């Protein structure tokens, strides 16, 4: 399969872990056009993060929901700045841990920790459904949240289960810094200089459309995407595309919603025609 994408120009919209995606595409010979969607910063409210970390140490959670690998790493880094890294990692070992997909699992591994349950599909709805099957009554449930998501239903589900949610949001997105990059990427799509756009999160879809609207280039983006294959890693992304009236042209077979199956699907589709 090596080199099968040689000559094809693939646009990826970087968020947290697209460095691996870029490498996998380049291993197949693709010319990868990387477009940062935002920068990730520690939340300005570090006092709240510190209080959450101390709470986790002083009164360990019964259950812990980890939504992102980025969040796990940010929390450990914050604990280190407070001089509490070892105590915090020990506290993370105690509760039953629910990971939203493989990314939090990968962040736990260097700490010597494992998730008790890896939730699939890796969505908030998947977390809610999994927690509904767990006995949470009387528990303190730590919740590591992430930006640009309405976590109200998740908090309500924990309360409805008779538990006390203890949320923390350790990082924020700075979207303004990336606006020029997105505008340039929209221009590349509209000009027909991209063979495919590959999307790995629903937030990328929202950000792309929002940025196009800000630039007054929404119609330009829509025309470009109508002529450019759009690759989606799975149904969450495809549903978001559909909500904006955009199509999914390429997706992994079955329920293999990961980067490598997505790349295999892209190879199968794109190599039917020569690169632009």
Name the residue ranges covered by the structural domains of the chain. 9-38+175-270, 42-173
**Burial letters 130-149, b for 16+ CB under 10 A, else e:** bbeebebeebbbbbbbbbee
Q: What is the pLDDT of residues 154-209, one digit of tens each?
A: 999 999 999 999 999 999 988 777 788 888 999 999 999 999 999 988 888 988 99
pLDDT tier at 1 (50, 70, 90 boundaries)?
A: very low
Q: Which range has the worst mean pLDDT, 3-7, 66-70, 199-203, 250-254?
A: 199-203
Model pTM?
0.70
Looking at residue 17, its pLDDT comes to 54
pLDDT tier at 2 (50, 70, 90 boundaries)?
A: low
Is the predicted pLDDT of residue 28 greater than 70, yes or no?
yes
Q: Which range has the worst mean pLDDT, 25-29, 92-96, 208-212?
A: 208-212
Span 65-93, mean pLDDT? 97
Q: List, in sequence order, every residue forming a beta bridge with 57; answer none if it has no partner.
A: none
% the chain with pLDDT above 70: 97
Is the predicted pLDDT of residue 247 greater than 90, yes or no?
yes
Q: CATH class for domain 9-38+175-270?
A: alpha beta
Span 258-272, mean pLDDT? 94
Q: Do 9-38+175-270 and 42-173 share a fold?
A: yes
Is the predicted pLDDT of residue 69 greater than 60, yes or no?
yes
What's the rounded Cα separation, in Å, for the pair 9 and 30? 6
CATH of 42-173, picked from 3.40.50.620, 1.10.530.10, 3.30.70.3270, 3.40.50.10090, is: 3.40.50.10090
């Amino acid at each position: 399969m090596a080199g099968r994408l040689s000559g094809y120009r693939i646009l990826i919209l970087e968020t947290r872990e697209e460095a691996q995606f870029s490498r996998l595409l380049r291993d197949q010979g693709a010319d990868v056009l990387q477009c940062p969607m935002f920068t990730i910063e520690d939340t300005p409210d570090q006092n709240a993060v510190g209080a959450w970390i101390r709470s986790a140490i002083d009164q360990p959670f019964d259950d812990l929901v980890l939504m992102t690998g980025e969040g796990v790493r940010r929390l450990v880094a914050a604990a280190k700045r407070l001089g509490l890294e070892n105590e915090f990692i020990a506290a993370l070992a105690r509760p039953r841990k629910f990971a939203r997909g493989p990314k939090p699992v990968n962040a736990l591994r260097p700490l010597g920790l494992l998730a008790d349950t890896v939730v699939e599909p890796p969505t908030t709805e998947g977390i809610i459904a999994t927690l509904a099957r767990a006995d949470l009554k009387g528990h303190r449930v730590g919740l590591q949240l992430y930006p640009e998501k309405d976590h109200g239903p998740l908090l309500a589900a924990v309360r409805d289960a008779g538990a006390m949610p203890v949320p923390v949001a350790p990082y924020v997105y700075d979207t303004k810094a990336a606006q020029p990059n997105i505008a340039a990427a929209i221009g590349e799509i509209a000009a027909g200089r991209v063979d495919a756009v590959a999307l790995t999160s629903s937030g990328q879809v929202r950000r792309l459309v929002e940025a196009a609207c800000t630039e007054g280039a929404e119609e330009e983006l829509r025309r470009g995407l109508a002529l450019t294959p759009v690759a989606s890693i799975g149904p969450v992304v495809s549903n978001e595309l559909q909500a904006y009236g955009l199509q999914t042209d390429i997706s992994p077979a079955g329920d293999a919603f990961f980067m490598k199956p997505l790349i295999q699907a892209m190879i199968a589709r794109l190599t039917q025609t020569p690169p632009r």
